C-alpha cells in the first residue's frame, strides 16, 4: 500500500448505485475505496487504513452497526472516523449508532453539501489526531535517559538507581533517595498496595516484556504528582529477577486537563439540560398565563366605553401580543438550533409564497401597501413546510420597514440547480454594517421608524430554516439604491 497525498475514504454499501453516487460526490477531492458488504469492509479497513469510512447500516450479513463496533474495538483502527449512512432516523436507531461508537450520521438520501461538510470536518479532526500521534512517536524516538524519570528497585523495593530527572521531580538529591523503601517513602499510603502489586507483576515478566501503570508519588515538599510508569524486570544471567527498572513520565498536567475536560463536558450537558427546561417553561408555563391575560384583556376591551381606559387596555393587549410573539419566536428558534435534519417533500414554491402573502392581507390594507407577486410558472423544490416561515418573515419585515403607500415585489428566479426567491421593499435600505448582522440572532435593523419593535429573531429563524434546506440567504440593495432585497435559495426537485 503506497501512501496517497489525498485523503482516502472507504464507502460501504450493498447497493452498487449508492456507492457510485457517493463516489461521484467525493472523487474530485478524495481517493475512494469501494466495498459492498460488511466483511469486505473490515478487511479493507485493516489492509488500506482509510482516513474515513462512510458505512451503510442496512446490509445483509454483517450490518453497519456490527462493522462499526468491530472497527472501534481494534486499537489499530479505533481512531478512523465512521459515519453511518442510513434511511433510519428514529431515536432508537441513533442510540444504537452511538452505542457502537459511530462518529456521525447521514440520512438517506444523502445531501451533497451536508456530506462534504461532514467529511471535511471529520477529516480535519483525523488529521489533527494523526499529527498528535506522529509528534508523540517522534518524541519517544528521540527521548533519552535525561528526558524521563529512571528508577531501579531491588526485590525488597529499595531504590538502587535514580536519574537527574527523577531527582528534579522529587526535589531530592541522590543521597536522600538511595536505599530507601520507595513505596513507604514516595507513594501515598492510599495507593501503596496497588503500586506494590505493579512491582511484583513486573518482576515476574519474561525478558523483553513491559508493564504499564499510572499512579501518584509524593515529592519532598509534599506535592502529589501523577506519573505514568513503564516497567521491565532486571534479570541476572540465569534469568532470575533481581528487581525492576522503570521509566516514568510526569503526566500531572495532562491528568488535570482531562479532569477539566470532563468537568467541562458535565457543565455543557447541564447547560443543555437547562436550555431544554427553559424552552419547555417558555412553551408551556409562560404561554398559558400570557394567553389567559390576553383573553381577559380582549374581553375588557369589548366591554369598555371609556376612551382613556380603552387606550390603556390596547397598550396592555399590544404588549401581551408582543410577549407571546417573543416567547413563540425564542422557543421556535431554540428548537431549530437543536435540529440537524428535516424531512423534505417535492412542493411548488409558488403556492407556498402566495399562502404566506395572503396571511398579511389585513396588515397590507391598513398600511395601503400593494403586494406585487411576479410568479407565472411552477417551481418544484425539495422543501419542508417550515419553508413558508422564511417567506412570512421576509414579507413581515418588508411591511414593518417599508413606507406606507408603497409596494412589495416578490420574484422567483432560476439559478441552475436552485430557485432564488427575492422579496423587495421600498424602505430606507440597510447599511453595510447591518447587512453583516441582520441574520444574527437578537440583531435588528437600525431604522428611522423607532415604533418598530421585535425580538430580532425572525431573520435568524429564516436563516436557520434555509440552512437546514442546504440553501443560502442574503440581503442586497434594491435597484438604484432604493429599498432592500432579501433573498433565499432552495434546491430544485
Overall average pLDDT of the 306-326 stretch: 77
Q: Residue 139: what pLDDT?
A: 46
Of the candidates 228, 221, 220, 223, the residue with the CA atom closest to the CA atom of residue 177: 220
Considering the chain, what is the average pLDDT of its residues? 83
Q: What pLDDT band is residue 451 in, cutting at 50, 70 and 90?
A: very low
Boundaries of every domain in the chain: 8-142, 145-250, 256-336, 345-491
What is the bridge-based pairing of β-strands 149-154 and 104-107?
Answer: unpaired
pLDDT of residue 452: 40
> What's the confidence (pLDDT) of residue 429?
85
Lowest pLDDT segment from 110-124, 215-229, 451-465: 451-465
Distance CA 20, CA 12 (A): 10
Residue 454 has pLDDT above 50, yes or no: no
CA nearest to 438, candidates 464, 418, 458, 466: 458
Confidence at residue 453, expressed as pLDDT on a 0 to 100 scale = 43
Map residue 385 onto helix, strand or coil. Answer: coil
**pLDDT given for residue 415 in this prediction:** 93
Q: What is the mean pLDDT of residues 220-231?
A: 90
Buried b (16+ CB within 10 A) or exposed e, 260-281: eeeeeeeeeeeeeeeeeeebee
Over the stretch 364-388, which tens digit does the pLDDT of each residue have?
A: 988 999 999 999 889 999 988 888 8
Helices assigned H by DSSP within 281-306: 287-303
Q: For residue range 386-420, what is the model confidence (pLDDT) as tens digits?
A: 888 889 889 988 998 888 999 999 999 999 999 99
Nearest in space to 45 (alpha carbons), one of 64, 23, 17, 18: 64
Q: How far apart are CA 185 and CA 172, in angstroms?
A: 12
DSSP helix/strand/coil, 486: strand
CATH superfamily of 145-250: PAS domain (3.30.450.20)
- Find where cell 454483517 sits: 62
Identify the pLDDT of residue 420: 94
Yes or no: say if 458 and 450 are a contact pair by the CB < 8 Å rule.
no
Residue predicted with more confidence, 277 or 168: 168
d(CA 313, CA 304): 9
In the chain, the percentage of residues whose pLDDT exceeds 70 is 85
The residue assigned the cell 409564497 is 353
Mean pLDDT of 228-234: 90
Q: Is the pTM of this model over 0.75?
A: no
Structure confidence by residue, pLDDT tens digits, 126-179: 888 888 878 756 644 443 354 688 888 999 999 988 888 888 889 988 888 899
Which pLDDT score is estimated for 138?
A: 67
* pLDDT of 430: 85
* pLDDT higher than threshold 50 for residue 225: yes
Task: Evaluate if residue 1 carries a pLDDT over 70.
Answer: no
pLDDT at position 428 is 86
CATH classification number, 8-142, choose in 3.30.43.10, 3.40.50.10860, 3.40.50.280, 3.40.50.2300: 3.40.50.2300
| Assigned fold of 345-491 | Heat Shock Protein 90 (3.30.565)
Contacts for 153 with CB less than 8 Å, ≥ 6 apart: 159, 160, 182, 199, 243, 244, 246
- Whether the per-residue pLDDT at 488 is higher than 50: the answer is yes
Amino acid at each position: 500500500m503506497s501512501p496517497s497525498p489525498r485523503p482516502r475514504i472507504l464507502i460501504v454499501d450493498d447497493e452498487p448505485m449508492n456507492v457510485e453516487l457517493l463516489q461521484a460526490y467525493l472523487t474530485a477531492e478524495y481517493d475512494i475505496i469501494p466495498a459492498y458488504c460488511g466483511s469486505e469492509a473490515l478487511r479493507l479497513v485493516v489492509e488500506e487504513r482509510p482516513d474515513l469510512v462512510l458505512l451503510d447500516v442496512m446490509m445483509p450479513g454483517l450490518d453497519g452497526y456490527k462493522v462499526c463496533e468491530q472497527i472501534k474495538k481494534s486499537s489499530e483502527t479505533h481512531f478512523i472516523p465512521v459515519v453511518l449512512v442510513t434511511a433510519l432516523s428514529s431515536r432508537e436507531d441513533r442510540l444504537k449508532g452511538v452505542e457502537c461508537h459511530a462518529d456521525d450520521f447521514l440520512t438517506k438520501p444523502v445531501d451533497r453539501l451536508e456530506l462534504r461538510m461532514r467529511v471535511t470536518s471529520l477529516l480535519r479532526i483525523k488529521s489533527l489526531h494523526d499529527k498528535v500521534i506522529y509528534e508523540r512517536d517522534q518524541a519517544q524516538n528521540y527521548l533519552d535517559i535525561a528526558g524521563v524519570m529512571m528508577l531501579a528497585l531491588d526485590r525488597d523495593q529499595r531504590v538502587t538507581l535514580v536519574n537527574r530527572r527523577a531527582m528534579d521531580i522529587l526535589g531530592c538529591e541522590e543521597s536522600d533517595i538511595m536505599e530507601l523503601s520507595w513505596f513507604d517513602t514516595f507513594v501515598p499510603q492510599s495507593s501503596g498496595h496497588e503500586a506494590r502489586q505493579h512491582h511484583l507483576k513486573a518482576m515476574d515478566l519474561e525478558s523483553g516484556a513491559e508493564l504499564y501503570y499510572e499512579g501518584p508519588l509524593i515529592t519532598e515538599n509534599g506535592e502529589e504528582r501523577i506519573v505514568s510508569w513503564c516497567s521491565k524486570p532486571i534479570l541476572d544471567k540465569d534469568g532470575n529477577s533481581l528487581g525492576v527498572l522503570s521509566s516514568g513520565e510526569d503526566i500531572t498536567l495532562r491528568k488535570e486537563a482531562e479532569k477539566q475536560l470532563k468537568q467541562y463536558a458535565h457543565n455543557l450537558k447541564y447547560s443543555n439540560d437547562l436550555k431544554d427546561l427553559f424552552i419547555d417553561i417558555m412553551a408551556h408555563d409562560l404561554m398559558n398565563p400570557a394567553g389567559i391575560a390576553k383573553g381577559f384583556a380582549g374581553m375588557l376591551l369589548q366591554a369598555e366605553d371609556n376612551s382613556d381606559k380603552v387606550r390603556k387596555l390596547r397598550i396592555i393587549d399590544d404588549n401581551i401580543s408582543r410577549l407571546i410573539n417573543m416567547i413563540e419566536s425564542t422557543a421556535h428558534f431554540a428548537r431549530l438550533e437543536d435540529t440537524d435534519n428535516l424531512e423534505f417533500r417535492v412542493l411548488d414554491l409558488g403556492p407556498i409564497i402566495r399562502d404566506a402573502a395572503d396571511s398579511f392581507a389585513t396588515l397590507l390594507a391598513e398600511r395601503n401597501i400593494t403586494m406585487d407577486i411576479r410568479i407565472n410558472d411552477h417551481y418544484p423544490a425539495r422543501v419542508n413546510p417550515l419553508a413558508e416561515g422564511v417567506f412570512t418573515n421576509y414579507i413581515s419585515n418588508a411591511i414593518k420597514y417599508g413606507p406606507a403607500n408603497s409596494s412589495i415585489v416578490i420574484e422567483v428566479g432560476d439559478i441552475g440547480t436552485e430557485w432564488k426567491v427575492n422579496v423587495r421593499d421600498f424602505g430606507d435600505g440597510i447599511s453595510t454594517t447591518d447587512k453583516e448582522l441582520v441574520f444574527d440572532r437578537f440583531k435588528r435593523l437600525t431604522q428611522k421608524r423607532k415604533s418598530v419593535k421585535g425580538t430580532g429573531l425572525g431573520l435568524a429563524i429564516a436563516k436557520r430554516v434555509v440552512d437546514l434546506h442546504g440553501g443560502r440567504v442574503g440581503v442586497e440593495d434594491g435597484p438604484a439604491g432604493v429599498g432592500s432585497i432579501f433573498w433565499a435559495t432552495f434546491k430544485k426537485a
